[in-house]
Each structure stands twice: as C-alpha cells, then as structure tokens.
Structure 1
Amino acid sequence: MVAQRSEPAREVPRPPPFPRRAGALVAGYAVSSYGNYLNLIALSLFTYEVTGSGLGLGLLMALRLFAGFLAGLAAGALAARVGRRRLMLIADVCQAAAMVVLALCVRSASEGLLVAVVIVLGAGNTFFTVALRSAVPVMVGSGARVRANGRLATARSLATVAGFASAAPVIGLAGHGAAFAVNAASFLVSAAVIFFLRLPTDEDPTDEDPTDKYEADKHRTDEATSLPQGSVQPNHVAVRRIWTAVPALLLGLILLRGVDALASSSHNVALPVVAALRAPQNPAAFMTQFWASWAVGTLVAHQLLKGRQASRMEGRWGVRALAGGTCAMSLCFVLAFTGIETPLLLMAIVCLAGIADGFTEIVYTSRLQAAPDRERSRLFGLSATAETCGFALGMVTAAAALDRWTALTVVGVFHGLAFCGAAVLLLISLNGRRKAGRKPA
C-alpha cells in the first residue's frame, strides 16, 4: 500500500511587524490626546466664567469648530507644500504656545484672547490629525497601517477617559491655569517625540510611482476594473479608469463619516443631561463609567482587526464593514439611552457601541490610506472638513432639540440618520456585487 503524500498546509500570511519606533509615536499621541480632552472640559468651564453666558460659550465653541472646518479645506495642500512632519510640529508648537499664554494670563483673560486661542486649537488639531493619518502608511508601511490605526484609536479612547476623569480633580485642586499648563506640556511632549524620532512621513518622489502601486493593489480586490482575458491596456488609461471609479466610492464613505459625526454629537450633548437624571449626586462618575466602557470597546476592536490584512480594507469588504459597523454603533447608542436600569447591561451595550465605533474608525482610516501618497492628505483634509461640519451642525441642532424632546428621541433621530445612510451605502455595495457577478466571463 502506497502511503499518500500529504500536501503542506498553506500558511496564512501574517501582517508585517510593527516598527518599534512607531510605538513611541503612539505614546506621544496618547499624551497630547489626554491634554486635549482635559482641556476640553477646562476651557469650556473657563470660557463660561469669562463670558458669563451660555451664548458666549456656544459661540466660542462654534468658532473652534469653524476654524477646524476651514483648516480641513487647506490641510491637504499645506501638507504637500511644507511636509507632513513639519506640519505636525508646527501644529503642536502653536497649540502649546497658545495654551502657555492662556495659562499665564488666566487671571486677566479677555474674550479676544479666548477667540485667538480657540482658533489656534481648532485649526491646529485639524492640521495635526490630517498630517498624522495621511503619514501612517509611510511611517509604518502600508501593510502595518491597520495595526497602527488600531493603536492610535485605542490611545485616543483611553486618553478620552483619562482626560475627562481627571479634569475635575485638576481644576478643583490647582485651577484652570494648571489644566492649561498640562495641555501645553502634552503638546510639547508630542512635538518632541515627532522631532527626535524622525520617522519618514512623505514618500520619496524617486520611489515607485504611488499611482502604479495603487493600481496594482486595486486589481487585487473585487473593486478592480475587470478586463477581457488577454487584453493589454496602457498604463495611463488604467489609471484614468481607476480614478473615474474611486471618487464616487470615497465620496460616499466620507459623507457617511460626516453623518456619523452628526449622530455622535447627539449622544455627546445628551449624555450630561442623562447623567444628571440618573446620578444626580455624582453625574461625573456616571459619565466616566460610560466613556470607560466605550473605551474598552475600542480596545477590543483593535484586537479584532490587528491581524487583518490591510488589502482587505480596500475592497467591498471594507465598504460593507464600515456600513455594518455604523449601523451597529447607532443601534447600540440608541439602546444605551432607553433608560436601562441594570448598570452592567448598560455598560455592556456601551462597550458594544465602542467596539463598533473603533471598528469603523480603523476600517475607514485604513481605506483612505490606500490612496496614492500625493492624494492622501487631500482626502483626509476633505474627511476632516466633513466630520467637523457634521459634528458642529449636530452640536447646535441637538442642543436646541433637547429643549423640546427627550434625550432618547434626540439620540434616536440623529443616529437614525446615520443608520439610514449606512444602510443605503450597504445596499449600493451589495447591488454592485450582484451586478458584477452577472457579468459574462
């Protein structure tokens, strides 16, 4: 009897190793994010003290968002002109300088000084975020960008909880000036990490044409333009055909993220109201538990996606994953505001919302990073503009709606819009797949 020869098992491709130096970049980003969220509370309270009215606070917060909106329009061109690394350094240093000035002038601050500070913070945050996200594939390699995006999302989530939780003790014990100084120091830490690491952030123009690389990657996915067998197509024609298909898809993804930001503003506005009703003696503790559960969910999302091949994000799987994750996130946030009495069940639902939120952010960021280097910064600038616009519009309309409707109604309506937008994108993606399957071979 002849022994059968067993075929060797096919090895599952593993993602490339994550650069060690990039871990320091994630740590620096976590520190600056912590300072941002600490300052979000401190600056809001301080602005209310200086202006003496909710209208003044609202106008200055709107100005901050508007500065970020305008910065998003110019971020792509500016990153291409000065370089992403230099743009991140400039953004960090300018924000640190603004916070140092505010910390020194805390006793004599005027409305004019606050206007200047919020403009610097709004524009600086957008410039830094656009430059960082578009530089990730260059800093860690295209194959490791999913893991990098997951670590950055996790770092920001943990920083959110730490910043919100420590705001009250820091302000109560040391005052607003100390909180502003901590924020300034966090920006300087981030700038120092970027300066001394010297990670590459822009592709060398003498390297392989990124458009050709992008074309090759696209042909490995089901989004690629199918050609008859044996046909030969000139390179410039192939690139043109790809670019005529990409804008519509990316525009749909970017618009969905804008609607997602609009929906997210509703639970950010409604949460303090619910916290005051559910835990009148200590609403801050309720909010901390809420955001901590959400942060745990984003950490789980990173663990689920860190082994996923980056090329998967570029095909229809990425579109369906983003749409499905947005639907799940919206449903979970609506459930969280239905008045669930059991704390563990509430925290579990919020954790699921965090998983879906982190999942969609990682998939979306990785998808945009698949674009050619020379287009990536412009795409992220457009994305920042859409997200800022959606969040600003949502903050205003959700706050006004809370005067007439319950928190559940407001959150349900806003997240219902995100759910419907994601469902439409999902149906379009599935319909496109069915049409592709009916094409003759």
Structure 2
Amino acid sequence: MITQRNTHLIVSARLISDFGAFLNMVALATYVYLLSNSAMSVGIFLASRVGGGIFASLIGTRFYRRWQGRAPLIAFDLLRAALLGLLLIIPASQQAWLLPLIAFGLGLGNSMFAIGLNSQLPRLIAPAQLLKANAWITSASSAAMVGGSLVSGLLVAAFGFETVFALNALTYVLAALLIVPLRFEKNDVSEQPQRGEWFALRQGLRSVPVVAAMLAVTMADTLGSAAHNVGFPIISKLLTPEAASTTLGLALAVWASGKLLGARIASHLKGSENSHLERRFFCGVALMSCGFILMFQQHSLYGLLLFALPAGLGDGLPKSA
C-alpha cells in the first residue's frame, strides 16, 4: 500500500515539476529575447541554465549520499519557486544581470530534483514495482513537456509574463507539498564505490568502444541542443513578431509530442535481448539532426511545426534505446 501511495505521489510530483520546468523554459527564453532583443543574451541565459544542470550532474551523486530523504527534494523545489519570485519583485530594468543567475539556479534545481528522486526510487518503491513506476515517471515527464511547452505560450499571450512566473512558482510549491508525505525505507547498505564513478566510466568506455562512440555523439548532440534552444525564440519572433511566445510554445509542444511518440515506438521495437540498440541510437540522432536543420530553414509557421515532429521523433528514439 505504501508503494502504491509513494508511486502516485512521485509521478504527480515529477509531472508538476517537469511541467514547471518547460513552462519557464518557454516563457523565460522568450522574455530574455524580448527584454534584450539580443541572441547573445538568450545564449548566455540558456548556457547558464545548462551550466546549472552540468554542475548538478557532477555533484548530484555525492550530495545525495550525504543528504537523503525528503528535505533536499523539498529544498530544491522551494529554491526554484524563490528564484522565479524574484522576477515578480525586482523591476524589469534591473533584471538583466540577474537572469543568468536565475537560469543557473533553475538548471541546478531541475537536475538535482530529478537526480534525487530517481536515485532514491529503490527506497520508495518495492523492487517488483520499480519498472512499472519508471514507465509511469517517463510518461509523466513526456506529457509535462508537451503540456508545459504548449500552455506557456498561450498563457503569456493571454495574461503576460508576470502571471506565468507566478503560476510557475506555485507549481514548484505544489511539487514540494507532494514530496512531504513520501515514506522512505531505511538505507542499510552504503554504496561507496572502491575507485569512484570516473574510474568505472573510463573502464567501461575502454571495454566497449561503441559506448564511447555513443557518448561522443551524445556530447555533440548536447552542443546542438544548446544551439537550437537559442534558435527557437529567435525564429519564433522572426516568423510571428506579434506572438513569439505562442509560436515558441507550439513548436516545443509539437517537438515534445514527437519525442513522446518516438519513446513509445522505441519501447515496442525492443526485443527480448535489446538487439540493435546502437543502430537505433545513431538512426534516431540522425533523424533528430535532420529535423532540426530543416526546421530552421522554414519561412512559415506550418513548415516549422511540420519538421518539429520528426525532430522530436528522432530525439525520443535514442533516449529510449
């Protein structure tokens, strides 16, 4: 009964947290571009957000070995809510220097929340239910991408940025409230690696060259993702100057829908021995890259949305391989 209750709370918290993450990804990227009218400012903002996520990936494992349970998860939710609250009390004319710091904090909070929740699943859910719970979490995260991306642009167009920032802060507070009732099993086993994670990674890459190639492609994919994240608000404003946020939200929603579809297709393609996963990974990356290249060659909203779908479809395949 506790497992089922924890599963419902975790899936709901992850759904709301990821919804909030994509809500502010669309709103803030557009806000920065409209505020500065500079692609460089958008690049700095998004680089700061990615930097926060990278920093979280470096410290996440050690952090959650020392501090476990509900408190860190709640703290990172409240941190994200507080950062967005700053945009409601600080005048827009004084926000230019603050936005990269907010972006870094949001990237850090998003990644640390996800790392903390995923790493503690064995203490929250019975082993027999972990696979099913992971499937629900993945589906909730994908649905949040679609919903957050689509709703953000529509809310900005209808009510303005301040309303979206306030609503976004509330989503993180709600996610924190859903974490409070979680019940953790005692962690009796200390998982301290003998030589460290980096040693294990190096050994794994040497023994399986194809994994090294996949990692190299993934790193290049990350660089490309940063570029198209900068390009999204710019092309949205170029195509529809009067409704850039709505266009950005629609494009990301179609992309996220394609990603969800790609993940579902990949789950049905997997055989009992997970054969041909490497080939599927590289094909997915190629499809995603071609989709994004064609997206940014379009001169109409319909063309943009048309190629956003295969870009997301390709993105979903390697993530599930």
- TM-score category by the smaller chain? 0.7 to 0.9
Distance 1:346 1:170 in 2: 21
1:31 is displaced (CA, Å) by 1.7
> How far did residue 78 of structure 1 move?
0.8
**Of 288, 291, 309, the match for 1:329:** 288
- Which segment is superposed worse, 104-113 or 153-162? 104-113
The aligned residue for residue 80 of structure 1 is: 65
Alignment CA distance shift 1:170-1:273 (3 Å): closer
Give the distance between the partners of 1:331 and 1:134, measured in 2 at CA.
34
Alignment of 1:148-187 (within 5 A): 148-187=133-172
2:253 to 258, 271, 292: 292
Deviations 1:342-362 (A, max 9, x none): 95x975654343333223223
The aligned counterpart of 1:354 is 312
Query: Is the contact between residue 92 and residue 187 of structure 1 (CA under 8 Å) also seen in structure 2?
Result: yes
Instruction: Specify whether residues 252 and 203 from structure 1 end up closer, same or farther in structure 2 by C-alpha distance, changes over 3 A only.
Output: farther
CA distance in 2, matches of 1:338, 1:55: 20
Question: Quick one: which of 44, 66, 89 aligns to 1:104?
Answer: 89
- Secondary structure of 1:83's aligned partner: coil
Q: Is the 8 A contact 1:33 1:159 kept in 2?
A: yes
SS in 1 for 2:166: helix
CA distance in 1, matches of 2:246, 2:74: 35
Kept in 1, the 8 Å contact 2:156–2:246? The answer is no
The structure in which a higher percent of residues are helix is 2
The within-5 A match list for 1:238-317 is 246-248=204-206, 249=208, 251-272=212-233, 274-275=235-236, 286-304=247-265, 312=273, 317=276
Q: Which amino acid aligns with 1:181?
A: A
In the TM superposition, residue 331 of structure 1 has moved relative to its aligned partner by: 3.4
Q: Does structure 2 conserve the Cα–Cα contact (< 8 Å) formed by 1:96 and 1:184? A: yes
Give SS of 2:189's match.
Answer: coil
Cα distance in 2, alignment partners of residues 53 and 266 from structure 1: 14
Normalised by the length of structure 2, the TM-score is 0.73
Task: Name which one, 1 or 2, has greater alpha-carbon Rg.
Answer: 1
- For residues 129 and 269 of structure 2, the distance between their equivalents in structure 1, rounded to whole angstroms, comes to 10
- Larger displacement relative to structure 2 (162-171 or 30-39): 162-171
Work out the number of aligned pairs and report it.
Answer: 311
1:267–1:333 CA contact under 8 A, matched in 2? yes
Where do 5+ consecutive residues of structure 1 fail to align? 1-17, 212-235, 237-241, 364-441
Shifted more, 281-290 versus 61-70: the winner is 281-290
Per-residue CA deviations over 1:259-316 (Å, capped at 9, x if unaligned) read 2222233433444555556667756555444333333333334434557889856xx6
Unpaired runs of 5+ residues, structure 2, are 195-199
Q: In the TM superposition, what whole-angstrom CA distance separates every residue of 1:63-113 from its partner, at most 9, and x where no partner exists?
A: 333333333221221121112654322211211222234323346754554
Taking only aligned residues, the RMSD between alpha carbons, in angstroms, comes to 4.2
SS at structure 2 position matched to 1:196: coil
Q: Quote the offset at 1:20 in angstroms.
A: 6.0
Q: Secondary structure at the match of 2:181?
A: helix
Moved more, 105-114 or 28-37: 105-114
Q: Which of 75, 80, 96 is the matching residue for 1:90? A: 75
Which one of 3, 17, 27 corresponds to residue 42 of structure 1? 27
> Hey, what's the Cα distance between the residues in 2 that align with 1:320 and 1:19?
37
- Does the CA contact (< 8 Å) of 1:47 and 1:57 recur in 2? yes
Q: Given residue 83 of structure 1, which amino acid in structure 2 is its aligned partner? A: Q
Tell me whether 1:205 sits opposite 2:163 in the alignment: no
Aligned twin of 1:375? none
Aligned ranges for residues 62-73 of structure 1 at < 5 Å? 62-73=47-58
- One-letter code of the match for 2:292? F
1:193 shift after superposition: 1.6
Partners of 1:132 and 1:336 in 2: how far apart? 34
Taking only the aligned residue pairs, the percentage that are identical comes to: 25
